[in-house]
Structures are given as C-alpha cells and as structure tokens.
Amino acid sequence: MIRVRFVQPSGDPKWDAWAARAESETNALINSSQRKIKDTVYKEAQEWIVSIFHGKCAYCEVRLDVSQHRGDLDHFRPKNRVADQHGKRVSIRGSFHPGYFWLAYRLWNLLPSCISCNRPVKGPNGIVRGKWDRFPVAGSYAVSCSDDLQREKPLLLNPYEDDPNRHLSFDVKTGMVTHKSSRGKVTIDTLGLNREGLVRARLDTIERVQSLWADYMKAISRMNGDEADRIQRELSSYRSGIQPFAAAARAMLSIMKQDAEARGL
C-alpha cells in the first residue's frame, strides 16, 4: 500500500457530466427515506479511480487486469451495511448503522480493489479476510451527513489520507508486511495482506529491483550513461508508485541506497 494523492479531474466534459449527476443523486439520497443507491452511477467513475492508482489495487498493489476483470470499487466507508473488524454488524443506540449512503457517489470514498482484498473469504484457519462491509473505528461512528467525518477514527488505513509508511513495514528478505501501529495490524489482518500469492509477488519485485540496482551500479562504473539512464527510468517507475508492489520496492531501494552511501559510492 502506498499513499496516493486524490486529484479531481478537470477539463474533461465526461467527468463534469458525471460529477453533476453524482451530486444530484447524492442530494436525492439525503432527502429520501428509501435511500436506494444506484450502483451504475458510482461504477461509471471506475475508469478515473483506477487511473489514479496506476491500474492497481489501492490496498495490495496488485495489477488489475482490465482485459478480464477490473476488480471492485470499494467504498472505504461502506454505503450500506457496516460491520466491525470481526464482521459483526455495527449497532448504534439499538439500531443498525444505516451505512454511509451520503458518500456512495463521492470519488474520494471510492477505492479500486482486487477481489481478494475486498470480498470476504474464510481461510484454512477459519479467519475471514476481505474488507467488504467491515469498517472498524476507534470511538464513535458518524451516522449521518451532518456528522463531522474528521472526528471519526478509522482503524483501516486509507491510501488517500494516511501515510502507510507510518503504519506498515516490508521485510525485504521474506516479502512479508508487518505492522508499526495498531491501525497497521488491523489493516493487514482485515485485507489479508500476507496471503501467499502477495508475499511471493513482493519477493519477485524485490529481486527485480535488486537486479536492476546491480546493473545500474555496473553501468555507472563502466561510464555507460545510456544504460544507466535506462535503468534509472525503470527504477523511478517503482519510486513513483507506477509499478505493482511499489511499497516493497521502495523498501529495498532505501536499503541499497543507504548501503551505497555508507560505502561512499
């Protein structure tokens, strides 16, 4: 997981038309007692959302295969049913949480997610992973559009708002992600960020970055500027977050850079 700055599209007539419709539908939801959310409305924004995250899952950074399945659009704050960390439905003063229906069409509440991170699956140990409608908080929940969301304290990390580096750490020897905070732990456990396929994919990325770095140092020593520039461009695509598993790659790059500086290279 890496932090991604939310930038609202501008100068795009298609976006402007969608934004106007989303605003109208939001007002209709707030003023209606039925609160029927139109999935087709927020799904129309999927192309923009996925592009903001460079075509990757916002949580695990796996590439979303647009030719087959673009994954899910996850509502960070669930639009309907709201559950706690363990999947138990949240009750507020004797009534179930109504869901964050007023955020159903808000772009900044929508995150591209692979199926494995979003949809609930029970593992061999009986533990359920997958975010779905789980949204644990520390303290009280916001339950209406008049409540201040800034007072709410989500236990899950939001790539738009949080710096994952403060909460997560990647082990470059194992490919595992560990927590630096309680929020980091809840995020890892809820999303299943150490599932087998992810750990292997991170290790492959780490090994690729190591190989590129070694080739880069050789190119520098041989004064091969063209080759060094080519490799530097590829390494930069990991630093910028464009490539899958950029967080693990950045951890490896940081270690190698520190080592090179220590040796005066």
Q: What is the pLDDT of residue 227?
A: 94
Residues 6+ apart with CB under 8 A from 94: none
Q: Would you place residue 47 in the very low, low, confident or very high pLDDT band (cuts 50, 70, 90)?
A: confident
Please state the length of the chain.
Answer: 265
CA-to-CA distance for 91 and 134, rounded, in angstroms? 13
DSSP character at residue 144: S
Q: Would you place residue 68 in the very low, low, confident or very high pLDDT band (cuts 50, 70, 90)?
A: low
Burial class (CB in 10 A: 0-12, 13-18, 19+), 25: middle
**How far apart, in Å, are the Cα atoms of 25 and each of 103, 106, 121, 196?**
11, 11, 32, 41
Strands 91-92 and 121-122: unpaired
Q: Would you place residue 123 in the very low, low, confident or very high pLDDT band (cuts 50, 70, 90)?
A: confident
Name the token pair of 38: 């139109």
For residue 226, is pLDDT > 90?
Answer: yes
Counting Cα atoms < 13 Å in the Cβ hemisphere of 179 gives 16
245: left (phi over 0), alpha (psi -120 to 50) or beta: left
- Give the dihedral of Cα atoms 128, 134, 138, 142; nearest 10 deg: -170
Please report, rounded to a whole number, the percentage of residues in the chain having pLDDT higher than 70. Answer: 98
Instruction: Look over the chain and give the mean of its residue pLDDT values, rounded to a whole number.
Output: 93
Cβ–Cβ under 8 Å, residues 3 and 250? no
CA-to-CA distance for 177 and 106, rounded, in angstroms? 30
Who wins on pLDDT, 126 or 168? 168
How much is the average pLDDT of 8-37?
Answer: 90
Cβ–Cβ under 8 Å, residues 179 and 167? yes
Element (H or E) spanning 200, and its range? helix 196-221
Q: What is the pLDDT of residue 34?
A: 83
